[in-house]
Amino acid sequence: MMNVVILAAGQGKRMHSDLPKVLQPLAGKPMIECVLDTVARLPDVSRTVVVIGHRAEVVREALGSRSGLEFALQSPQLGTGHALQCALPQLDPEAGQTLVLLGDVPLVQPETIDRLTRVAGDGMAILTTVLRNPTGYGRILRQRGRIVAIVEQKDATEGQKQIREVNTGIMLLPTARLAGWLSELKSANAQGEYYLTDVIGLAVRDGVRINSARPRRSFEVEGVNSKTQLARLEGIWQDHQAELLTEAGVTVLDPSRLDVRGRLSCGRDVTIDVGCIFEGEVELGDGVSVGPYCVIRNARIARGARIEAFCHIDGAEVGDNARVGPYARLRPQAVLAEDVHAGNFVEIKKSNIGRGSKINHLSYIGDTDMGSGVNIGAGTITCNYDGVHKFRTTIGDNAFIGSDTQLIAPVTVGAGATLGAGTTLAKDAPAGELTLSRAPQRTIQGWRRPVREDAGQKPAPGAQAAGKDGAR
Ligand code: UD1
Ligand code: CA
C-alpha cells in the first residue's frame, strides 16, 4: 500500500491570476483534478492527502465533491519539503511508501507511476526526464550513474545548469524515514525555502539507494507555472487526443482544430469537421458525422446520426440516423429517438421526441413528450413556464402542428390532431380533429391610410394602420 500526497499549496505568482494555480483549467478541468483522476486509477492507495495553503478554502471547496480525500493545511508556505511535512500526521504509517505528486504537473499517467513503483521496489525512486531546455527545473546530480542530489535552478552552478536530466517533482519515498529527513531540512538556499529535493542528499547519506524512471511521453511531466506553459501544455494534450482518435480510425478533418475536454469515445467511421469542442463524456456511434463548429457536452449521439454545422448539444441524446442542425441547440434531457429531424434555430429541452418526428425550423420545445411521426411547423413554441412553475406538453403520434403555434402547457394534443397555423392552444386538442384559434380574416373595403395634411403624398412614417393620430 502507499500514501499519495499532492502538493497544491503554492500561490503560482507567475500565473498573474486570482484563481489558485492548481485550479487553472487544463483539458477542461482544474489541473489538480487531472492529478486526482490519475490517482483514482492507481492500485493500492491507502490515503490521499492534498496539501493546500494559498486560498486553501477555494481549493478545498473546488474538490469538495470528491470522496476519499484528506486535506492538510500549509500556512505559511515555506517550500515543498515543508508542504510534505504538513501532510505527515495524516499519512498511514502502515503504508510503506509515499508517492509525492505536484498539483501543477497535471498530466502524469498511471502507467508511468506504475513504472516508478516498480523501479522503487521497497526503496525510493524519482521520476526524471531529459529536456532540451531544462531551465527552471531541479537538476539531477549523479555520481557513477547513481543519483546523489538534486540542485534547484536558482542554486545551480553554471556547470550544473548544463545538466539536462531534471527532477519532475514526482517521487516515491519510504514513509517511515520521512519525519526524520524532513526535520533535517534547512532553508539556506536561494529561495529561503525548505526544499523537498534536499531529502535526496539525506537519503544518500543514510545509504538509501535511489532509483529513477522516465515517463513514456514527455508531456506527462511538464510543470505549469505560467499561462504560457498552460496554453502550451493544452496544445500538446489536444494534439495527443486527436492522434488517439485518428489512430483509432476517426476521420478528423483537421487534427489541429479539435478540442476534447473530457472523454470522447467514437464508433467506426465517425467524421468530425473542424472547430468542434467535446466536453465531459461524449459518445459518437458508428457512422456519426459532426459538422464544423459544434460544441457537444455530455451527450450520446447514436449510429448514423448527422450533426450539421454550429450545433450546441448539452446533456442530450440523439437517436439513430437523426439529423440535427445546422444551428440547433439541444439542452439537458432532450432525448431524440431515431430518424428525428431537429432543424435550424431549434431549441429542445427536457423533452422526448418520438421516432421520425420533425421540428425543422425556428422552434422552442421544452418539457414535452412528443410521439412519433409528428410534424412541428416553423415558429412553434411550447409555453412551458408561467414565471414560477414549469408545465408539460404532450403531443400524440402523427399530430401536425401548424406554423407559429403556441402550446400553453399543461396541454395535450391528441394523436393525429391537426392544429391550424397561428393557433394559441390553451385547451387540449382532440385526436384526429382540426383545432385552430384564429380571428376570422376580414377585409375593409375602401380603407385608406391616413396622410399628413402638410406632407403631400408621403404616408406618415410609423403610422399605425388603424391609429387615429399615427402615434410613434
Ligand atoms: C519543483 C521542484 C523542482 C522540479 C519542479 C518540477 C522543489 C524544491 N523543486 O520546482 O526540482 O524540477 O518542481 O515541476 O521541490 N508547493 C506547496 N507548498 C510550498 C511550495 C510549493 O504546496 O510551500 C506546491 C505548489 O503548489 C506546486 C508544487 O508544490 O504544486 C511545486 O512548487 P513550485 O513552486 O511550482 O516548484 P518548482 O519551482 O516548479
Ligand atoms: Ca512548478
Pick the residue whose CA is nearest to atom 11 on ligand 1: 138
Q: Give me the mean pLDDT over the 417-437 stretch.
A: 97
Q: Give me the mean pLDDT over the 248-277 stretch.
A: 98
Q: How far apart are CA 366 and CA 213, in angstroms?
A: 55
Instruction: Characterise 54 by phi-psi region: left (phi > 0), alpha (psi -120 to 50), beta (else).
Output: beta
- Supply angle C-alpha 295, 296, 298, rounded to 5: 145
Is the pLDDT at 288 greater than 60? The verdict is: yes
Residue 82 annotated to the active site: no
Ligand sitting nearest the alpha carbon of 9: 1
Q: How far apart are CA 217 and CA 157, in angstroms?
A: 29
pLDDT, tens digit, 9 for 90 and up, residues 90-116: 999 999 999 999 999 999 999 999 999
Q: 35: CA distance to ligand 2 center in Å?
A: 14
Pick the residue whose CA is nearest to atom 31 on ligand 1: 102
Nearest-atom number in ligand 1 for the CA of 8 is: 26
Concatenating the DSSP letter of every residue in 49-108 gives EEEEBTBHHHHHHHTTT-TTEEEEE-SS---HHHHHHHHGGGS-TTSSEEEEEETT-TT-
526535520: which residue's cell?
Answer: 183
Nine-digit cell string for 243: 492522434
Residue pair 98/47 in contact (Cβ under 8 Å)? The answer is no
CB atoms within 10 A of CB 211: 16
Q: How far apart are CA 433 and CA 377, in angstroms?
A: 17
Sign of CA dihedral 119, 123, 126, 127: positive
Q: For a pocket test of ligand 1, which of 80, 88, 131, 193 has the largest count of ligand atoms closer than 8 A to its C-beta?
A: 80
Q: 6: CA distance to ligand 2 center in Å?
A: 12
Q: Would you call the peptide bond into 134 cis, given omega within 30 degrees of 0 as the criterion?
A: no
483537421: which residue's cell?
Answer: 254
Enumerate residues lining ligand 1, CB below 6 A. 7-10, 22, 51, 53, 74, 77-80, 82-83, 102-105, 137-138, 150, 152, 166-169, 195-197, 223, 225
The pLDDT value given to residue 111: 97
Nine-digit cell string for 346: 431549434
Q: 53: CA distance to ligand 2 center in Å?
A: 15
Ligand sitting nearest the alpha carbon of 169: 1
Predicted confidence band at 454 (pLDDT cuts at 50, 70, 90)?
Answer: confident
Predicted confidence band at 471 (pLDDT cuts at 50, 70, 90)?
Answer: very low
In the beta sheet, which residues pair with residue 303? none
Predicted confidence band at 230 (pLDDT cuts at 50, 70, 90)?
Answer: very high
Q: How far apart are CA 39 and CA 212, in angstroms?
A: 20
Q: 17: CA distance to ligand 1 center in Å?
A: 18
Is the pLDDT at 334 greater than 50? The verdict is: yes
Domain architecture of the chain: domains with CATH: 2-221 (3.90.550.10), 227-435 (2.160.10.10)
Which helix (H) or strand (E) is 48 found in, with range? strand 45-52
CB atoms within 10 A of CB 307: 28
Q: Residues 6 or more apart from 349 whose CB is under 8 A from it?
A: 331, 332, 333, 334, 365, 366, 367
Instruction: Characterise 327 by phi-psi region: left (phi > 0), alpha (psi -120 to 50), beta (else).
Output: left
Predicted confidence band at 122 (pLDDT cuts at 50, 70, 90)?
Answer: confident
**Alpha helices, DSSP H only, in 129-188?**
158-161, 175-184
Nine-digit cell string for 182: 524532513
- Supply angle C-alpha 450, 451, 454, rounded to 5: 150
The pLDDT value given to residue 459: 56
In 3D, which of 383, 402, 380, 378 has the Cα closest to residue 393? 383
The type of residue at 339 is D
Q: Which of 16, 54, 240, 361 is flagged as catalytic?
A: 361
